[in-house]
Structure 1
Amino acid sequence: MTPTPRTALTIAGSDSGGGAGIQADLRTFFACGVHGMTAITAVTVQNSLGVQGFTEIPPEVVTAQIKAVATDMGVNAAKTGMLATAEIIREVAKTLDEVHIGRSTNVPFVVDPVAASMHGDALLREEALEAIRTELFPRATLITPNLDEVRLLTGVDVTDRESQRHAADVLLEFGSQWVLVKGGHLEEDPDCVDLLSDGVQYIELSGHRYPTKHTHGGGDTLASAITASLAHELGVPDAVAEGKRFIERSVAEGYPLGAGIGPVSPFWRLEHHQAKPTLR
């Protein structure tokens, strides 16, 4: 009999193209050796060319999914992705408290504040930004905004390493334990440097910038790899470093699919570690 693996819950939207959202989270969880569970918040209509539309799931159905898995299977770590509306965000936050997930508990919680697709298509209602700041960030072990999301959430325009550090300080004021300000969109920087901070430590994680357009689902994959590492009981700095290694290789192995932007690929982990992922 196979030993029961660690578990991770993703609360996010479904990507019909399979490159991002719930689908990216589940395949990353699998590649990182954890059992993935889901609470679907929205169904998107999208492919490699962009998002054509989305429909929100009723908030009570979202929270029922969370309660169903948390009270039966147990959750070792959780993350959010696309949450779509302020009402869903508020209900998710309340439910996380009820099932004891978040920074004040023993279950780490990662918030990926998804506001738009990489094509620029809106994935978050305008009124939901404030709910993310006030409802999710104070409950978060870690938040993982990209530079566009930093600007939407704080008004800070990150143009260099100094302003990246300032953005981290501003974001931490909303109450998360840690923040990872991703630098992938800072194209003037020859390296891809993400900044991890808890307000005391400022840890720069540098990675290679690959000349590829096939990066669909990169943010979801990074947050999921970090969440999987937290489920394996790594501390936040080690979990983020592991996630950074995972996404760097996944970007390097991204593949063309459809007429637009293809997805990053976690398949390298399966090809090079046929028996088991390297995470414990």
Structure 2
Amino acid sequence: MTARELYLRAKAQLTKAGVDSPGFDAARLSERFLGLDRSELALQGDKAPDEKKRQEFLEAVSQRAERRPLQYILGEWPFMSLTLSVGEGVLVPREDTAALVEALAARIGKGARGLDLCAGSGAVGLGICSIVPGAQVICVELDEKAGEFLDRNIARYPRFECRAAAGDVLRGPEQGVFPKELDFIASNPPYIATGELSALQPEVQKEPSLALDGGGDGLTFYRAILEKWAPLLRPGGALGVEIGDTQAREVTELFARSGFVDITVHKDLAGLDRAVTAAKGSTV
């Protein structure tokens, strides 16, 4: 069977399995396991890959047809200018999260010090370091499995001043562990209401529930961040969070009641509400 025939077989199998983007996924798997991207499939697809590559490709396609996330199968995924290691136990970095990183980066200056709460793979913290010169970020993560990916990704970019720390965002910072007078706090917290988890796509349901479950109303982590972590910010320091696309009003109200000012909602590339940023008021 030629590489092109394998690609077409994979596309048909993924289509039948209900995968949203069967052509894209089949092409990415071809690139990873057969060593041929879409343009190379057109030019060299009449050649038959060796048996080892063929078996690895077909196994990867079977996993994808069972709705294992494509990112987990590939083992890494791009985010902004970065390539991040991912797998079972850590939330997949999504393009939408760039809206938070870019909006918060616009509020802080060179050498800014801050936290990335619920850090997961480190996408937010490392993303900030990639566009804010000299930024210093502590990435806070509770789950040990996610922490393994976080450590791996931080090690991948030694030029960034980024380090990992264990911490439970819902419990708040431990005395002496986290610095005060921070310039910013960022977070892509769990924000899906508990009752909505069962309705998520099969792929998303294979991601860690710890990184998805935002409590009964989806707002549990926002309240904890405002109550327990925001006091670490200096007056005028920036707070930025990712939100679900229907949560802008509720989250901005929480920010306002907590004394934050200059509250702004930012949209993702699809035009949906995706992030909220604000400045700590002088009376907070």
Query: Shared fold (TM-score greater than 0.5)?
Result: no
TM-score range for the pair, normalised by the shorter chain length: 0.3 to 0.5
Determine which structure has greater relative contact order: mean sequence separation of CA pairs < 8 Å that are 6+ residues apart, divided by chain length. Answer: 1
TM-score (norm 2): 0.33
TM-score (norm 1): 0.33
